[in-house]
Structure 1
C-alpha cells in the first residue's frame, strides 16, 4: 500500500543488526532414485527442519522450524531454498511465525528461492503474526529459470484482535523481487505502518493481508480464481504475462489462510501439474 511513499531507509536488509539471533538456513532439493530428496542442509543459529515427508510419493514436503518461536528486535533470519532440475518440493512451517514488539531495533528476515528449469517449488509458510510495536523488514528474492514452476504466498496478521490489540504503533517493510531467466520481472515494495493499517487506501483496519504468486499461469487459471472469488469483497487477482498475483484482506487470519489454501487447490493441478495434497500440519 502507498508504494509511492515507500522509503528504503531505515530498512536495509543487508545491514547487520547490533544484537540478537543471527540464524541461517540453506536447503537444496534434488531428484534422485525416483523422488525429490533434501540433498543439502546447512544451518547456523536457531533455524532447522523436520525430516522430510512424502505424502504424495515423489514430492518432498518439508517443515522449517524456528525453535525460539518468535523474532525479536535485532534478530536476523536468512533462508535460502534451491530446487534443482527435476525436483519438486513443498516448504511450509508447523505454526504461525511471530514478530514481537521492538525496543527500537529492526527484526529482519531474508529469503532467497531459486527454481531451476524443470523444477517445482512451493513456498507456503503459515501466517506471520506482527505484534503491535514491532519493527520488521523482510525480503524475498525469487529466481525462476525458464521452465520453472512456482506457487508461494506471504500472509501477515497484525496485532491480536482477540485481545483488542490492533496496529497503532510499528512498521513492516516488505520487498519481493521476482527474476525470470536472470532478468528482474516484478518488484513489489510495501510499507505498512499505523497510518497504512487504518487508512481506506491501506488495510482499512483489517488485521490480515496476504499475497499469492503462481508461475506460470494463463488466462484459464485467472478465470478459475476469479470464479472462486466471485463478488467477495477484499479479494482480487490479476495476471501479468504468465505471473498470477492474488491478494486478500480479512479481519481474521485463519479465514484468509483458508482462502489462499482454496486458491492453491484450484491452481496446483495446472501450474504444477499435480493434484492438491495438503501438508498434514495444516490440519492440526
Structure 2
C-alpha cells in the first residue's frame, strides 16, 4: 500500500552550477561477526570519521561536513548501502545548517538501502534552516524483505535563541520508503512563513521532527503512546509494520530528547538489540 498525505507543494529542485557539489558513498558489510565500512568514496566536502564499536559488532559512524553549513547553490548527495546481515548506526557530530539564500536552492539528497537481515539507523542531529534559506531535501529508503530500519529527521526553522523566526524562506521535504522495490510510503512537505505560523502548520513551533521505524507492531505503537501520554505536540501511528512518530516543539533539544527516548524504547524489538547511544550525543 502507499500512504500519501496531501501534497501542499514542492519547489523546483534543479541544481545550479554554482556552489559545492559534494557526494558521499558508504557501504557496510558483515565480516567475521563485525560490521565494517567496506566501501567509502567521496567527492567534495563530505567525509566520515573512523568507525566506533561501542557495542561489539555494530558499526557507529559519524558523517562530517567540514564547511559546517550549506549555502545557496550547494548540493549534497549521500548514498548508504547496508549489505545482508550488517548492522550500522550513522549520526552526525553536530547540527547541520542551511544558510540564507538570495534566491538559489540548496539541495540535499539521501538514499539508504538496507538488505535482507541488515539493520541501519539513520540518526543525524537536527538541521537548522536559517531564516531566508531555500532548501530542497529528499530522503529515499529502500528496504528489502527482512530489513530493519530506524531513522529520523529533526528540523529547526530560524534561530529562536537569537529571536529569529521564519518570516521568509522555504524548506521543501520529500520522504519515500520502498519495500521490496515497491513504493510503500510517500510524503511531501512545504514549510514557509505561512506554514510556520498557521494553526494547520507548525503553529509557531520552531522545531519539528519525523521518525520512522520498521518492522514494528501494535506492541511498539502502544509503548510509544504510553511514552507520549498527554504531552501536546506528539503523535504516533502504525501503517502495516511501519511506525511513524511526529513531534512539534519550541525547543530542538527537547524534541531530540523525546526522539531519543522513543528510539531507546523501540530499538530492542525493532533492531533486536538494547539501546546504546553514540558517545557524540553526550557532548
- Deviations 1:154-197 (CA, angstroms, capped at 9, x unpaired): 00011111111000000000000000000000001000000000
- Deviations 1:206-233 (CA, angstroms, capped at 9, x unpaired): 0000000000000000000000000000
Stretches of structure 1 lacking an aligned partner (at least 5 in a row): none
Which aligned pairs between 1:50-129 and structure 2 lie closer than 5 A? 50-129=49-128
- Deviations 1:143-163 (CA, angstroms, capped at 9, x unpaired): 000000000000001111111
| Alignment pair present for 1:233 and 2:232 | yes
Q: Give the structure-2-normalised TM-score.
A: 0.97
Q: Flag as ranges the 4+ runs of structure 1 deviating above 4 A.
A: none
Cα distance in 1 for partners of 2:204, 2:115 equals 40
* Matched residue, 2:151: 152
Which aligned pairs between 1:164-203 and structure 2 lie closer than 5 A? 164-203=163-202
* Structure 1 vs Structure 2 CA RMSD: 0.8
Cα distance in 2 for partners of 1:117, 1:230 equals 34
Q: What number of residue pairs does the alignment pair up?
A: 279
* CA displacement at 1:5 relative to structure 2: 5.4
| Alignment pair present for 1:207 and 2:206 | yes
* Matched residue, 1:6: 8
* CA displacement at 1:34 relative to structure 2: 1.4
Cα distance in 2 for partners of 1:256, 1:270 equals 22
Stretches of structure 2 lacking an aligned partner (at least 5 in a row): none
Report the 3-state secondary structure (helix = DSSP H, G, I; strand = E; otherwise coil) of the residue aligned with 1:267: helix
Cα distance in 2 for partners of 1:62, 1:42 equals 14
* Matched residue, 1:25: 24
* CA displacement at 1:73 relative to structure 2: 0.2
* CA displacement at 1:50 relative to structure 2: 0.0
